[in-house]
Amino acid sequence: MLTLRGSPASRRGAALGKLEIISDGAVLIQDGFVKEVGPSRRVEALADARLALEIDASGCVVMPGFVDSAAYLVTGPMRGSDWECVGQPDGAWSSTINQTSRRTLEARGVALLEEFVRHGTTFVEARSGFGFDEAGELKILRTHAALKRRTSMVASAFMGALRPPGEASVDEYVEWMCGRMLPMLKRRRLAEFAGIACGPQTLPLEHARRYLSVASGLGFTPIMHADRTQTGAFVEEAVRIGAAAVDGLENTDENVIEMLGGSDTIATLIPGPVFFTGRGDYPRARGLIDRGAAIALATGYHPHLNPSASMQMVIVLACRNMGLTVAEAITAATMNGACAMRQASWRGSLEPGKIADVVILRTPDYREIGWNYGVNLVDTTVLQGTVIYKRARINWSGHCDR
């Protein structure tokens, strides 16, 4: 049992690799929360455990559910020409949000969340940003709200300026976001996070500064996607404003690493798009860790740039291409992911008082997660104390009788 118990603060340095393992452990769940965690003999002897429904995880790894702090759950179906842009970072794909009904978007979102659950993810930061106008962005965020009414595993982030503002000037676009969109989203409670994409193709630094300041003043948790060509100034602004997390760190120089090492801002590393598109460099995870930065791992799910809902795949990429140990990658994909979403008091570890989001893996050794490329090890996913996914068994009876 990997408990990852300890302080709810982000794990850094040597602490990133400490999983707080109980070799023969048990977890007692009551009313959707963890009641007790410890050696099996002690937990099974508790009075509350005597009438409990038992899930036998013998020979398996039990751990907290994965926390994915960056995913685009609602993007709309792709058109015929869009398939030619799949895997192209600068592809001119189109938004079909405004041409797609809310019911269809919600059904697609539910189906995608089921894929996340099958791969062991129990909490996701769902991002907007590809609606490209007010109607499209509102439709995405309202679909997020519909998904949140169905499940506890979604938080919503409004991402401004993921594309150039089109015919509007940059000043007009920023005024629209700061003067209209952010206040409206706050009143309607359609997002908890407000993020910004910064760079030559999106927003310059001075406009990003104003956006983040307004978002923070309204009570949103600020996050930032930094342009890979001009990371330094944007990361400095994210740190200054107290952003919860910053991603887009494919090109990080020593100055950026130093800034993140001395800050509370989480460096969210997203290796999936680098692998899928074949462009860009993997983030310098080892340098960030050695300088004391807190890192999280995320899928960055998007149908064009990384159509994978598997945090296990992200862990494999982090271990093979970014120099992480399996233990470090697991912490970055659970506890530090929760920290990046300001959820560490409730998620990311198995401890009394926390929400009972638990995953059972079909392996006796957690290190297998880091090497099983393209293999889903998840046997069971427990969300808020309820088993919502159980891997089906293959029935061979009668098949080989002839």
pLDDT in tens, 209-224: 899 999 999 999 999 9
SS3 for 38?
Answer: strand
Q: Bigger pLDDT: 205 or 340?
A: 340
Provide CATH 3.20.20.140 ranges for the chain.
Answer: 66-340
Q: What is the pLDDT of residue 106?
A: 95
Do 56 and 24 contact (CB within 8 A), yes or no? Answer: no
Q: Where in the chain is the domain with CATH 2.30.40.10?
A: 13-64+350-390
CATH number of 13-64+350-390: 2.30.40.10
Q: Compute how many other C-beta atoms are within 10 angstroms of the C-beta atom of residue 24.
A: 9
Which pLDDT score is estimated for 79? Answer: 60
What span, in angstroms and rounded, lies between the C-alpha atoms of 146 and 330?
A: 30
CATH class of 66-340: alpha beta
Give the C-alpha separation, 18 to 366, whole Å: 13
- Which pLDDT does position 248 carry in this prediction? 85
Residue of higher predicted confidence among 401 and 209: 209
For a pLDDT cut of 90, what percent of the chain falls above it? 70
Average of per-residue pLDDT across 381-400: 88
Q: What is the pLDDT of residue 197?
A: 83
76-85, 163-172, 290-299: least confidently modelled range: 76-85
pLDDT at 141 over 50: yes
pLDDT higher than threshold 60 for residue 245 = yes
The band of 91, judged by pLDDT with boundaries at 50, 70 and 90, is: very low
Q: Mean pLDDT of all residues in the chain? A: 90
For residues 102-110, average pLDDT: 93
Q: Determine the pLDDT at residue 157.
A: 97
Query: What's the rounded Cα separation, in Å, for the pair 18 and 335?
Result: 11
| 116 has pLDDT over 50 | yes
**Is residue 252 over pLDDT 90?**
no
Residue range 298-325: mean pLDDT, rounded: 95
* Residue 202, pLDDT above cutoff 80: no
74-109: burial string, b at 16+ Cβ within 10 Å, e else:
bbbeeeeebeebebeeeeebebbbeebeeeebbebb
Residue 200: its pLDDT value, please? Answer: 67
